[in-house]
Amino acid sequence: MESSQTLGLTFNVKVSETLKTWRKARESCNEEGNELLQIKSEQQFSQLQVTLGNPKQKETYWVGAKETRQRWNWAHERRDLHEETIGCYGSHVDSNIYTNFTNNHPAICSGFCRTMMRRQYSGLQGHKCYCFYGIEQLIWRNLSSCNLECPGNPFQTCGGANEMNIFHNWEVVSWGLHEPSAIGSGKDCAYILLSKDGIIKWYSGRCTLRQKFVCKINSVSVCSWVNKTAPCYYVMADKVTWFEARQRCFWTGGYLADAEIENAENLNLGEDVFWAGLSRIGQSWIDGTPVDLQYLRHTEGIAEIMSCLALRFNGAKLGWTLESRLCNEHHGSICDIRMQGPMNLNISNDISHPHDGHVHENQDLNSYFKFLLAICASCAVLILLLTFFIYRRRKHRSVQLKRKSHFYYILEKINPMYGRFLSGENRK
């Protein structure tokens, strides 16, 4: 049983209740020449929410996007915090002065060297973190020599057997001691705290914590309303999640605070903590374009290094939101039907469970064969009707011919000579 509803948008979707993994859901869409839905605008997302309505239970549907939590990036401009290595270097001097970090990675070492040691460069070798004023005394090595995984981030390298990866600390924020946390810890969003010595320090925390936040606003009218010159920083007293804070800043014509807040004047933070614009969350659609985090409201979901995105109903208050789920979970899916015309919501009501997903895949095939059988039956009926029509037409024509030749037929039966006369045999 399927139901459909036409919307005034130029895309078509099919909602399937069949429970599958993200990969299987995408394969099912591809087999029909379609793709998992990619939501590219606020209008599209809003219209989809209205059409799906408010189900009685929490429904979850796969969409065509994935999420990674690998590198710290600024949410407002899709730019990574500067964590690219300058190169791989060895030293001809005995570098015995270092700090040992159990979860060593570029962000934590660079933050320590910049904030605590006031050094411009940092060097990483396994768990060791070196801080340098300059790198003139170091010897350049081939980058392939630095092949050790960082203990705190397996996606980055931390030196080699006798080498170290060197980083410049010029764009690193003032992380607190032993911050930020290692990848996979679930602490993927950054907040700020004014230390006792008057320095703004950055810390990592779980994105679903409810805290105050600071927006950087570019609107002249908004800044003038709070007696400040644009751009300005505005402290919001509401305690919300990091996702909600980012969205609210966008609504005010700005974004969550960037690194320049460390130099801001007359900013009254007190002893509270505030969400800022750094996170380790990166999301992209199947075609490679980034997910518009400013338009779409979502909860944290599964804080894995790699996960898949789903559209989930979180009750009447939150409505439909995007969130990350383990890719091997079984959920329904929404396919983007690649055809022109108004948006058509095609909802398939076949309910299944992870243990019998293959049964519903067979049901999809059965539906396809039933459709072909119906077409063949229709063609057969048309052929029969056409045959009957031709037969009746020929019979009718035969009767007419007999009626026209009836007089001559009788004469020939009476006397054969009339037949020869009519055929022209006597014309000699």
CB 422 within 8 A of CB 414: no
- C-alpha closest to that of 130 among 106, 152, 157: 106
**What is the Rg, in whole angstroms, of the alpha carbon atoms belonging to the chain?**
37
Q: Where are the domains of the chain?
A: 2-69+282-351, 79-168, 189-279, 352-428
Higher pLDDT, 107 or 170: 107
Give me the helix-helix angle, 357-404 and 406-414, nearest 10°.
60
Query: For position 422, what pLDDT does the model report?
Result: 42
Other C-beta atoms closer than 10 Å to the C-beta of 373 total 10
- C-alpha closest to that of 75 among 401, 315, 293, 384: 293
Query: For position 297, what pLDDT does the model report?
Result: 63
Query: For position 299, what pLDDT does the model report?
Result: 63
Mean pLDDT of 395-410: 48
Q: Please state whether the peptide bond connecting residue 416 to the residue before it is cis, i.e. omega within 30 degrees of 0.
A: no
Query: For position 48, what pLDDT does the model report?
Result: 87
Each residue's pLDDT tens digit, 324-377: 899 999 999 999 987 544 444 555 544 333 334 444 444 454 565 666 777 777
CB 83 within 8 A of CB 72: yes
DSSP letter, residue 290: B
- Mean pLDDT taken over the chain: 80
Query: For position 311, what pLDDT does the model report?
Result: 92
Mean pLDDT of 63-80: 86
Query: What percent of the chain stands above pLDDT 70?
Result: 76
Query: For position 293, what pLDDT does the model report?
Result: 65
Indicate yes or no: pTM above 0.85.
no
Each residue's pLDDT tens digit, 104-152: 999 899 989 988 888 999 999 999 999 999 998 899 999 999 999 999 8
**∠ Cα 55 59 60 (to 5°):** 150
The CATH code of the domain at 2-69+282-351 is 3.10.100.10
Instruction: Give the number of C-alpha atoms closer than 13 A to the C-alpha of residue 232, restricted to the C-beta side.
Output: 19
- Exposure string of 122-158, with b = 16+ CB inside 10 Å and e = fewer, is bbbbbbbbbbbeebeebeebeeeebebebbbbeebbb
Each residue's pLDDT tens digit, 273-284: 999 999 988 889
Query: For position 301, what pLDDT does the model report?
Result: 64
Query: For position 143, what pLDDT does the model report?
Result: 94
CB 28 within 8 A of CB 359: no
Each residue's pLDDT tens digit, 209-261: 999 999 999 888 888 888 888 899 999 999 999 988 998 998 888 999 999 99
